[in-house]
Amino acid sequence: MLMKRDVESGGDGNANPRPLYPAMLENPQLRWAFIRKVYTILTIQLLLTIAVASVVVFVRPIALFFVSSPGGLALYIVLLIAPLITVCPLYYYHQKHPLNYILLFIFTVTLAFAVGLTCAFTSGRIILESVILTTIVVVSLTLYTFWAAKRGHDFNFLGPFLFGALLVLMLFAFIQLLFPLGRISTMIYGVLASIIFSGYIIYDTNNLIKRYTYDQYIWASVALYLDVINLFLSLLTIFRAVN
């Protein structure tokens, strides 16, 4: 009788599962269970984001309310600030159930609303191109990181460089907000942001494989969710500037 192959553990059903990376001391099955949980939460976040953003895009009175009335503009500012406010208690209570899921839901919905308003005044072709390219990049970089980790590569060194690049990007965006430099500078901003958040996908996936503890599933999903959303918005910026 053939032994059933354990696809996730990388070994046979009755054999010890293969480690995700060399010199792995923890049980690979526990780490795989943690990874599955994180990606399940991430999938639900992305589906919720698509649902909320679709409502904002296709129900035109919602988007028009935000751009045509003072109250809508004030509410838009609140929605932009809300994820930043929510992420602080979410970080503090990310291990406290069910408060962590409630805060995560608020964080995801408010950010999804902001994404929807960004897409509401963008052509469907540009949105579709950005979604397809984001999906290809995220899947490719995720598979590459798992492949590289299994062969002993560690991307933890990217942390300081990505953080420094993110600060420069935020400064560039602030300057662009005060003194708009035109379409070319917008494209440059989008390209730089795409590169930075592609690096963050590799960095956070590497941490998911090696460094996050089992009770940090909420924070791990938040990190990957922000990487995916920011990558999508960066690509959307590039395509909008081109068109």
Residue 7 located in a structural domain:
no
Residue 113 domain-assigned? yes
- The answer, yes or no, to whether residue 7 has pLDDT greater than 60, is no
Task: Read off the pLDDT of residues 167-214 as tens digits, 9 standing for 90 and up.
Answer: 999 898 888 777 777 788 888 889 999 999 999 999 999 999 998 989
Share of the chain above pLDDT 70, in %: 93
> Is residue 56 situated within a structural domain?
yes
In whole angstroms, give the CA distance from residue 220 to residue 214: 10
User: Has residue 12 been placed in a domain?
Assistant: no
Pairwise pLDDT comparison (164 vs 82), residue with the higher score = 164
DSSP summary character for residue 30: H
Closest CA to 34 of 229, 208, 233: 208
Task: Give me the number of domains the chain comprises.
Answer: 1
pTM to 2 decimal places:
0.88
Neighbours of 134 (CB within 10 A): 21
Is 232 or 241 the better-scoring residue by pLDDT? 232
Is residue 107 domain-resident?
Answer: yes
- For residue 39, pLDDT over 70 is answered with yes
Q: Before 17, cis peptide (omega within 30)? A: no
1 band by pLDDT with thresholds 50, 70 and 90: very low
Range of the domain at 57: 27-242
- Tell me: pLDDT of 9 over 70: no
Look at residue 160 and tell me if it is in a domain: yes
- Strands (DSSP E) contained in the chain are 5-6, 11-12
Per-residue pLDDT at 108:
94
d(CA 211, CA 39): 16
DSSP string, 90-120: HHHTTTSTTHHHHHHHHHHHHHHHHHHHHHH
Three-state DSSP class for residue 20: coil
Mean pLDDT of the chain: 86
pLDDT for the residue 44: 96
Q: Is the pLDDT of residue 77 over 50?
A: yes
For the chain, count helices (H), then strands (E): 8, 2
Give domain status of residue 180, yes or no: yes
CB atoms < 10 A from the CB of 5, how many? 10
Residue 42 lies in a domain: yes
Tell whether the model's pLDDT for residue 5 goes beyond 70: no
Contact 7, 187 (CB under 8 A): no
The tens digit of pLDDT for each residue in 152-162 reads 999 999 999 99
Longest dimension (CA), the chain: 72
pLDDT band at 14 (very low <50, low <70, confident <90, very high): very low
Q: What is the pLDDT of residues 96-124, one digit of tens each?
A: 888 889 999 999 999 999 899 889 888 88
pLDDT at 17 (0 to 100): 67
